[in-house]
Amino acid sequence: MAQNSSTTHTGTTGSGADDGDSADRRAVLTRRGLLGAAGAAGLAVGAAGGVFGRAAAGDDGAAPSLGAASVPFHGVHQAGIVQNQQSQALLVAFDLATGATRAGTAALMRRWSDSAARLAEGRPATGHENQIALDAGPCSLTVTFGFGASFFDRTGLAAARPEALAPLPDFPDDAIDRSRSDGDLWVQICADDALVAFHALRVLQQQAAGTASVRWQMSGFSRSPGATARPMTTRNLMGQLDGTNNPRASDASFAAKVFVPAGPADPAWMSGGSYAVVRRIRMLLDNWENLPVDRQERVIGRRKSDGAPLSGGTETTAVDLARQNPDGTLAVPADAHIRVAAPAANSGATMLRRGFSYHDGFRADGAPDAGLLFIAFQSDPLTGFVPVQRKLAGADSLSRFLRHEASGLYAVPGGAAPGGYVGQALLES
């Protein structure tokens, strides 16, 4: 089965996984044939990096367009994990209807997978087509499906529930709203166009009718492709470059850290899959913005302007946690986020962070309801997210500026082959 890595997405980086060095694996599509010239002209500049960034020409010499960029749905792994973050994300959890059967759930996963594959190619959905994305190409749409712990009880598959899907522990200072957490099914929809993403959401919701209904939904965003003079790590709403020290697909240990291996230790249906931890983390932005920049930098352990570690060098220089200032203090403070979260401080715990910013208006006290939809993919949350968050909750100076308000953990099965559907090996076992 092919890897689903072909895309013309050349925008901002942030997840670290599908970075510039994988550009040669990308199929370069041009806007011709997918979009009308007039409507796409503006988009073409942004997607290619155009006058600002890295440009790539199509086989007819035309610049590839943002709209025409596509990520195949089918592959060994589901799409939406290793690809660069798109500018738009819709996260949605569904609960199965009372009386939903395993067969009915399997039929839903088949419908959803068929639609996700069609939409990822820029084709209309079968049934429930609402024309919302009528004039657009696929815009790097990815749809990623996951199963929550409750999914297994509801479908009579309790015995198949992986140990790794044990409920996340309560962490100190968590303020979790259960109505916006968990869920039987989780769907991550990402695209470089808000209408394309919403179109996919509506199609999936309508195709679920009678089998599953929405439990919660959250909307996130990241940098738009072409917004910066060169492709670079995206910034979060605290203004920091966020994603620098993510594992890279070129790292020898990348697959072992992010994807479930084939082998007796893990369920066969999870082979090539991953576990997604989702946390809605509100930022106390008024407090944060009142902190002088040099103190903000000591909270994270990196320079705000360019992301360089306080131990010296540039953004990509390896952090030297032992380095001392001339006065003998640690260059990267003992409670700095990057020190407390580092794999070296957590028995090698690693995860692929692929979060999105959110902003949902303002709270009664005038503070923005805004922060990070933290999403982390890993081969085992019990050796990935859990120990790191346990440590952060107690020792990270960034935690003074954060509130964890919603939480979810989902088994994200491996990708589907053409003609198959996500979760087939589990639901037909």
Ligand X SMILES: C=CC1=C(C)c2cc3[nH]c(cc4nc(cc5[nH]c(cc1n2)c(C)c5CCC(=O)O)C(CCC(=O)O)=C4C)c(C)c3C=C
Q: Enumerate binding residues for ligand X (CB under 6 A).
A: 236, 238, 240, 242-245, 279, 281, 283, 300, 302, 319, 337-338, 341-343, 371-372, 374, 385, 388-389, 392, 402
Least distance CB 176 / ligand X (angstroms): 13
Question: CB-based contacts of 147: which residues, under 8 Å, 6+ apart?
Answer: 165, 184, 185, 186, 410, 411, 413, 423, 426
Least distance CB 172 / ligand X (angstroms): 13
- The count of C-alpha atoms lying within 13 angstroms of the C-alpha of 69, restricted to the half-sphere facing its C-beta, is 34
**CB atoms inside a 10 Å sphere around CB 309:** 27
Output 198 or 374, the one with its CB closest to ligand X: 374
Q: Is the dihedral of CA 413, 425, 143, 100 positive or negative?
A: negative
Pairing of strands 142-147, 352-353: unpaired
**389-411 burial code (b ≥16 CB/10 A, e <16):** bebbbebbbbbebbebbbbbbbb
Output 341 or 426, the one with its CB closest to ligand X: 341
Output 176 or 392, the one with its CB closest to ligand X: 392
Residue with tokens 């059967």: 101
Query: What amino acid positions are annotated as catalytic residues?
Result: 242
Cα–Cα distance between 209 and 250 in angstroms, integer? 41
Which of 79, 1, 68 shows the shortest CA–CA distance to 28? 68
Output 236 or 397, the one with its CB closest to ligand X: 236
Output 121 or 405, the one with its CB closest to ligand X: 405
Least distance CB 354 / ligand X (angstroms): 11
Cα–Cα distance between 340 and 319 in angstroms, integer? 12
Least distance CB 307 / ligand X (angstroms): 6
Output 17 or 29, the one with its CB closest to ligand X: 17
Question: CB-based contacts of 155: which residues, under 8 Å, 6+ apart?
Answer: 96, 100, 101, 102, 105, 427
Under a CB-based contact definition with an 8 Å cutoff, are residues 355 and 349 in contact?
no
Least distance CB 382 / ligand X (angstroms): 13
Q: Which residue is nearest to ligand X (CB)?
A: 245
Residue with tokens 């996340």: 168
Least distance CB 372 / ligand X (angstroms): 4
Which of 230, 225, 235 shows the shortest CA–CA distance to 10? 225
Amino acid at 337: H
Output 128 or 403, the one with its CB closest to ligand X: 403
Least distance CB 145 / ligand X (angstroms): 23
Quote the Cα angle for 274-412-382, to 5°: 50
- The count of C-alpha atoms lying within 13 angstroms of the C-alpha of 372, restricted to the half-sphere facing its C-beta, is 27
